[in-house]
Amino acid sequence: MKRQRLFPSTGGADSPTASVSSEARRISNAAIPAFALIPMLQHSGSAARCLVRPGDRVQEGMLIGKADGARSANVHSSVPGTVVRVERTTGADGTVSAAALVEFGGEFERTGKAPAVEDWEKLSRSDLLGRIRSAGVVGLGGGLQPTHLKLAREPGRVASRLIANGLDCEPSLQGDTFLMREKSAEIVTGMLICGKILGTARMVLAIGLAQEEELLPLFHRASEHVDRAFEVVPLPSRYPLGHEDLVRAAVLAKAGDADGDRGAENGSAECVVLNVSTLFAVYEAVVRGRPMIERTVTVSGSAVRRPSVLKVRIGTRVGDLFEECGGFLEQPGKVVLGGPMRGVAVSSLDFPVTKGVSGVLAYTRAEARPGPEMPCIRCGACVEACPWELVPTRLHKLIERGEIAQALAEGLSSCTECGCCAYACPSRIPLVESLRQGKRRGAPSHHG
Amino acid sequence: MADVHQDTRPASLVVSPAPHVTGSASSARLSWSVAFCLLPAAAWGVFLFGVPALGVLGVAVAASLAAELLAGLAARRVTIGDGSAIVTGLLVGMLMPPGVPLYVPAAASGFGIIVAKQSFGGLGRNWMNPALAGVVVALLSWSDGMSRWLPVRSAAPTVTAVPPLEALRNALTAGAPRGGALEMLRASGYPWSGMDSSVVGWVNTHVLSLFGWHLPGGCFDLLVGNISGTIGGTSVPLLLLGAALLLSRRVIRWQLPVTYLAIFCLAAQVFGGLPAGGGWFVGNMLFQVFSGGGLVLGAFFMATDPVTSPLTRTGQLAYGLCLGVLTFFLRTFGSLGDGVPLAILLGNCLSPLIDRFTRPAFPTQRKAAPG
Amino acid sequence: MTRRPVFRDGVLRDNPVAVMLVGLCPAAAVTSRVIDAAWMSVGLFFVLLLTRLCQAILHALRAPDLSEPPAPGAPPQTSVFPLRPRWLGSLLLSSCFTAAFELILLAFAPSESASLGIYVPLLAVNCLVLERFQRSGPEDEPESPVRVIARSLREAAGLGAGFAICLVAISLVREILGSGTITLFAAGSFGGTIEVGGLSSVPVRALTYGGGGLLCLGYLAGFARLLGRRKRRSGATEAGRS
């Protein structure tokens, strides 16, 4: 296959080497949690309305939070058992929502779940969409947008392409790669389901160049019976190429589309990008009738004894995952939910795994603290690293001086907080934090 | 949730904004690696000119460190560790002639650190290269001391020491018969070393005669840097060695120095013959590059100073172009040194302007990507 | 209404060179020798003081203002000197006095006149610019002509003194460091030049160039800002206490 140098021509960060040990080649199942804390807000948009009260019996996969409003998603119980209490909790990212604490107990039953279907192709588009919606599937690539919103189209409008994003969204996260290795057929089916809903004829699967040799045969085999245009595109696995817009741009550029501009989204060449984990969840929801109650989580970091990729029930305590992986090598100095570049550092191990937690990372004390901040030496490393061709150091200085309007005029709002600039900065200037604050100050007044 | 989930709670976890990993480069390490890569050329200068050169280098570095410490104490922050002061001191020393009275490097370093750098707010805020500012002040103030060249140690003690470039300029002003650079030097009796005549002679008789070519005397001396000149600017190969190291470690990028040298060489080759009465395209760019002075030193170690050069790669190309043209003019028509220090200082002044014109444009607000 | 210390303001808060950054040409150009700076200061003092004096006298005569349209029915106003376009009068007056100073200099210190060169005629411009910073007196209460004149003179003297202090300070630094000498008036057996031991043989000649003047000026302005900031801070804490 021709290895075209695509994008970023410059930009991005040299990702740290994969940290999941090689003997752990497969996704292992994490233990069923004794207590599962299930927040009603695990997606972008408004929180779900909690349907259970303390003392209620719940089954695995039972609806406990109903989507509230147009941009919301259903929440299901990940374990059978009893609701201990319902309380307001603060998520790792600072959002506040109600959460149900379910004590595990009783049998795994099949009641309260949508039945599995023999032949999904007989279902209509709206039936498929309804199954996805009721299963509470959200985008697992990081956006956490309810998937049924992304797939819904006005009548008559079709998407030109469906792109399955198989690039791990951050360095040291390998959940997507592992999933593709084990569930290639299911992912292809998920693509076909979404393709049918979108009415698109062309499907593209983007995978990392590093995994090309391993994954390409798998997907060729899985897609043998596919009657539509199906293409596997290897892309350089350089962070942040896993970002939705960049994958879209790279695929379009490779396909030679004239409008392969980054982030371009006009009607004629509308491409829908879905993460492979999301597609697997779509498959589970539609074909097996399973709502989104578990996800793959990468447990990694320098303080973890046995880094691995786990299949984890939503609501499992983060600390339990580390124990699952052999505990800590040494007292961790920092625990991060998500990836190393965009994740959220948390102050305790008591946070639950939610739909958005793609990884839990624990770093040693030595790694936890960034070096002292030094003055900017204008080396231009951030300029080179920025995949959006911004000048982060200048934006940072503008924001420091309070010139938000000028910073916005110079593209502040296209910053995706990918972290490449701060990663590259030799002076350890917290550029991302500064730009984030600048965006908040520059945002319309509903943020205050 | 607290009573259920509370067994193994680590003592304290650091909570800081993403990203949680950083690259390995650090500003201090960049400075130290520049200092390290300057060492071969500086050592060559000491080898060539002996103890006086070592004294000049030592005084320059010591004065620079002392000034940094003093300014740091005044501002209640110690910045010696960032390594930039030692680079400044080394560069000042390497740009001095070996026979310079010792107060000159001391004053130049002090001026560079205190006036050109710390007065503007320290590292990162200086709008001109501190070392070059110090050297230019020294050139303006103590032109006599700044032209006390020493002969290379291997030369006979009677030999008067003048760098080739200055000897050429002297010959031109003295109205010597016009010609190519090396021919004019030979005509004016420039003292090349004995080793040069034997090596060039051997190459001429044994290799080049086969093709009918002939190398003028002085080529070997110029190539290895066995010539009189500034302490750090004589040996082009050793400077290139340090530069290659910096390039390979990605401390500096090739765009700027390569444009700078290319434009300068082009100008020197095309127009270089005109002042000497020759025609177009008869300049000797290799002579201009190798004839001592700080062209290579300036291009790889001073023009690339990140603080005073443009941010973007496009800007650096434009900057290199400006520097090449400026250096050619200042060297050909100026009277201050070999033109490199002043050219780079002028370039420093242009750098914000270049930054302004090469800033990436944002004609449309791109769609904000979902978080 | 408290009386503003107009003289002190001219020296400190509104110092023409260090704070308002006016008259930078002479400050950079004629400060390489102390004697030049001194003569320049005298010139400015002279022109500024006399210009202000004449202006204040004319103002005290309460010449009617022509720039405002006369009220309908009012008798036509007559005036010898319209004051509203004040700069016109200032220009006229300051050029007159500048020319006078130039002639005086030519008569009594011809060598100095030669070394100051174009900067003597340029005094008119400097004075004109300083005119723009003239502070008006209290608007609401009419002042007696004597007080107007006195305040004008104090203000002019303050500005002149501020200018002189800066110029002489810059020239002292530049001449001592840049040439290793201090050039003053020749008087009797004293030749007019003091040599500073050690420096006169190896001066920092770069300071005698224009750039050196700007450099000293920059430090002076920076120093003035630092002082101002410190003063404001202490003032703020005092205000907080009371």
**Spatial distance between the Cα atoms of A205 and A219, rounded to a whole number of angstroms:** 9
Q: What is the mean pLDDT of residues B230-254?
A: 92
pLDDT in tens, C92-105: 888 999 999 999 99
Average pLDDT over residues A113-128: 79
| pLDDT for B163 | 87
Q: Which of the residue ranges A392-406, B29-43, B152-166, C171-185 would you say has the lowest mean pLDDT?
A: B152-166
Pick from A75, A248, A84: which is nearest to A163 by CA? Answer: A248
- Are the C-beta atoms of C101 and C113 separated by less than 8 Å? no
The three-point CA angle A63-A66-A70 to 5° equals: 145
Give chain C positions within 8 Å (CB) of B107.
204
Give the number of other Cβ atoms within 10 Å of residue C155's Cβ. Answer: 25
Q: SS3 for A102?
A: strand
Residue in A152, A148, A205 with CA at minimum distance from that of residue A179: A205
Q: Which chains touch C (3 or more CB pairs under 8 A)?
A: B
pLDDT beyond 80 at B15: yes
- Cβ count within 10 A of residue C82: 15
CB spacing of C206 vs B137 below 8 angstroms: yes
pLDDT band at B68 (very low <50, low <70, confident <90, very high): very high
Residue B50 backbone phi and psi in degrees, to 5 = 80, -155
As given in the structure block, the two tokens for residue A375 are 């003055």
pLDDT surpassing 60 at residue C140? no
Q: What integer is the mean pLDDT of A279-298?
A: 91
Q: What is the mean pLDDT of residues B133-159?
A: 86
Name the one residue in this structure whose structure tokens are 């060249």: B149
Q: C108 pLDDT exceeds 60?
A: yes
- Model confidence at C106, in pLDDT bands (50, 70, 90)? very high
| pLDDT (mean) for A214-238 | 86
Identify which of B258, B269, B351 has the alpha carbon closest to the alpha carbon of residue B305.
B351
Mind telling me how many Å the CA of A117 is from chain B's nearest CA?
A: 33
So what's the pLDDT on residue B128?
Answer: 92
CB contact under 8 A, C205 and B141: yes
C129 pLDDT tier (thresholds 50, 70, 90): confident
Contacts for B364 with CB less than 8 Å, ≥ 6 apart: none
Residue C183 reports pLDDT greater than 50 = yes
Which member of B15, B25, B371 has the closest CB to residue A346?
B15
**Interval A319-339 mean pLDDT:** 90
Q: What is the pLDDT of residue A17?
A: 45
In degrees, to the nearest 5, what angle opens at C-alpha B336 toward C-alphas B334 and B339?
70
Position C143 scores a pLDDT of 64
**pLDDT, tens digit, for every residue of C25-39?**
888 888 888 999 999
Q: Say if residues B96 and B121 touch (Cβ distance below 8 Å).
A: no
Given a cut of 70, is residue A448 above it in pLDDT?
Answer: no
Half-sphere exposure of C218 (CA within 13 A, CB side): 11
To the nearest whole number, what is the mean pLDDT of chain B? 86
How close does chain A come to B43, measured CA to CA in Å?
28
CA dist A234 → A9, A210, B281, C73 (Å): 16, 8, 51, 92
Better-scored residue on pLDDT, B201 or C72: B201
pLDDT of the residue at A8: 39
Interatomic CA distance for residues A359 and A318, integer angstroms: 10
Percentage of chain A with pLDDT > 70?
88
Per DSSP, the three-state class of A340 is coil
Residue C170 has pLDDT above 80, yes or no: yes
In this complex, the residue of B101, B103, B140 whose CB is nearest that of residue C205 is B140
pLDDT of B251 above 80? yes
When CB atoms are compared, the residue of B103, B137, B140 closest to C202 is: B103
Query: B23 at the A interface (CB within 8 A)?
Result: yes
pLDDT tens digits, one per residue of A151-189: 887 766 777 889 999 888 888 888 888 899 999 999 999
Give the closest of B101, B140, B142 to C209, CB-based.
B140
Structure tokens at A196: 């049918």
Q: Do chains B and A touch (3 or more CB pairs under 8 A)?
A: yes
Can you give the pLDDT at residue A187? 94
A22: left (phi over 0), alpha (psi -120 to 50) or beta: alpha
Instruction: Report the DSSP pairing between strands A75-76 and A63-66.
Output: antiparallel
pLDDT at B169: 83
Which residue in the block uniquely carries the two structure tokens 């039945």? A115
- Report which of residues B234 and C56 the model is more confident about: B234
Query: How high is the mean pLDDT of chain A?
Result: 84
Q: At residue B364, does pLDDT exceed 60?
A: no
Residues A382, A427: contact at Cβ < 8 Å?
no
Nearest chain C residue to B145 by CA: give it: C202
Neighbouring residues of A334: CB distance < 8 A, sequence distance ≥ 6: A345, A362, A363, A367, A368, B13, B14, B15, B16, B20
C211-223 burial by CB neighbour count: b if 16+ within 10 A, else e? ebbebbbeebbee
- Determine whether the interchain pair B123/A374 forms a contact, defined as Cβ–Cβ distance below 8 Å: yes
Predicted ipTM of the assembly: 0.85
- Out of A252-261, A367-376, B331-340, which region has the weakest mean confidence (pLDDT)? A252-261
DSSP per residue over B297-329, as a string?
Answer: HIIIIITT-GGGS-SSHHHHHHHHHHHHHHHHH
Query: Cα separation of A422 and A432, whole Å?
Result: 6
Query: Please, which pLDDT band fits residue A445 given cuts at 50, 70 and 90?
Result: low
Predicted local confidence at residue A259, as pLDDT: 46
- Interatomic CA distance for residues C175 and C169, integer angstroms: 10
pLDDT digits (tens, 9 = 90+) for A372-417: 888 899 988 898 888 888 899 999 999 999 999 989 988 898 888 8
**Which residues of chain C lie closer than 8 angstroms to B119, CB-CB?**
219, 222
Residue B366: list chain A partners with CB under 8 A.
262-263, 388, 411, 413-414
What is residue B114's predicted lDDT score, i.e. its pLDDT? 94
Q: Which residues in chain A have their CB less than 8 angstroms from residue B311's CB?
A: 378, 380, 383, 391, 393-394
pLDDT band of C142, cuts 50, 70, 90: low
Q: Is residue B363 less than 8 Å (CB to CB) from chain A?
A: no
Instruction: Show the tokens assigned to C155.
Output: 């203000």
Identify the band that residue C23 occupies on the pLDDT scale cut at 50, 70 and 90. Answer: confident
User: What mean pLDDT is predicted for residues A86-114?
Assistant: 81
Tokens representing A309 are 């990729």
The rounded distance, in Å, linking the Cα atoms of A209 and A438 is 36
**Rounded-to-integer distance, Cα A73 and Cα A80, Å:** 20
Please tell me whether the peptide bond between B341 and the residue prior to it is cis, using omega within 30 degrees of 0. no
Over residues A71-75, the mean pLDDT reads 91
Residue B145 with chain C: CB contacts under 8 Å:
202
Q: pLDDT tier at B134 (50, 70, 90 boundaries)?
A: very high
φ, ψ of residue C6 in degrees (nearest 5):
-65, -35
Q: What percent of chain B has pLDDT over 90?
A: 47
Give the SS3 label for residue B9.
coil
Range ranked top by mean pLDDT from A135-139, B106-110, C62-66: B106-110
Per-residue confidence band for C169, with pLDDT thresholds at 50, 70 and 90: very high
pLDDT of residue C132: 66
Listed by start position, the domains of chain B span 27-147, 164-358
